[in-house]
Homo-oligomer: A and B are copies of this chain.
Amino acid sequence: MSSSFGQLFRVTTFGESHGPGVGVVIDGIPGNMAVDLSVVQEWLNRRRPGQSQLTSPRAEQDLVECLSGLENGLTLGGPVTLFVRNTNIKPDDYKDVSQVFRPGHADFTTLQKYGVTATSGGGRASARETIGRVAAGAVAWQMIRCLHKDFEIVGWVRSVKDICVDQSIEDNLDLCATTSLVDKSEVRCPDISTSQKMIEAIMNAKNHGDSLGGTIRCVIRGVPAGLGEPVFDKLEADLAKAVMSLPATKGFEIGSGFAGTKMMGSEHNDALIRKDQKITTLTNRSGGIVGGISNGEFITFNVAFKPVSTIFKSQTTVDKQGNEVTFKPERGRHDPCVLPRAVPMVEAMATLVIADHVLRQRSMSPFTNLLT
């Protein structure tokens, strides 16, 4: 079990979906920094269940409590601990599922690894674990903004099943989408017409006891050039790990991504140009990172999420005695599509990566900078 992430801005999440609660310890925050817990609560509100018809009806308010590290709204230099109590646990819902390995879930592998599983809920594999990540992301975001005031991050649902935002619209969203614009859509797709189709598809799947997957696009603006630590902790490598550690993710691509493999080098290279006394690039196929180091352009990446594993249909599986059985859950509180609630999770993980690399670059900044 490895519950820590980051080298300098280091978060450690804890808690299970049906235990007392879930939380995070954030170590490595400089002292004397203002942290507003209401910003943390806002991030958690975007992640919590029960926001709309599209999400799980689990009735959790997810109110954040600070257990350490802050006094009068300032960091003390020690670890900041944030905790959210579980208040709406229904172990009975898991009675019928606790005797089988649910397809697509981590029941089988968890037992193989640890020799034990939680008797109800998904334990650490539950998406409730991401509460700690989102809370930490909201703190990281505030720290970065102190140092780089133009820093912005915004994610949105780019596709649900085969319903996808058009390329021409996406290019515009890269430039101007904001969280408030994104949140106007129940499904967190800021293109209204695509959003409507996605909602219909999700409700249709829900009504049939089925589930859907999709992709999220994330754009980070205002990142200074120079972040990323080759050769192993390249910025895109850490972003890839960050989002691929979220539940249900199946893929990551930066900049031109898989589509870029079909271009010629002469099409793909971003020309460097001079603009307003600054060196920039004419295009952004790199996605803002070259050789593992940010170049100052927008950082853009996509993440693939599989359709939710919990469905209310008959499936073949094996029970804990090793017998093949037919399994059909009768109840339970699950999202038919995880994408809308996954947006703040992706943003949080990417923010944690940037925060860590901001601190790392503070330590590694070249010596000539000291003289100028």
Contacts and interface: CB of A to CB of B under 8 A. Distances in A.
Interface string A15-50: 110011111010111111100000000000000000
A226 interface: yes
Nearest to A31: B114
A144 to B, nearest CB: 12
15 contacts: A2-B7, A12-B79, A21-B67, A31-B364, A76-B124, A77-B366, A109-B225, A112-B295, A213-B261, A234-B244, A250-B254, A252-B253, A264-B307, A267-B307, A271-B315
Contacts of A247: 291
Contacts of A309: 265, 269
A324 interface: yes
A158 B152 CA distance: 37
Interface stretch (A56-64, A175-183, A190-198, A235-243): A235-243
A310 B266 CA distance: 9
In which size bucket is the chain A interface?
35 or more
Contact of A116 (B76, B212, B364): B76
Contacts of A251: 251-254, 257-258, 261
A212 B264 contact: yes
Contacts of A271: 103, 315-317
Contact of A291 (B78, B125, B146): B125
B104 A269 contact: yes
A262 B76 contact: no
A81 interface: yes
Nearest to A311: B265
A27 B3 contact: yes
Given A112-B226, A245-B231, A71 B265 contact: no
A71 B244 contact: no
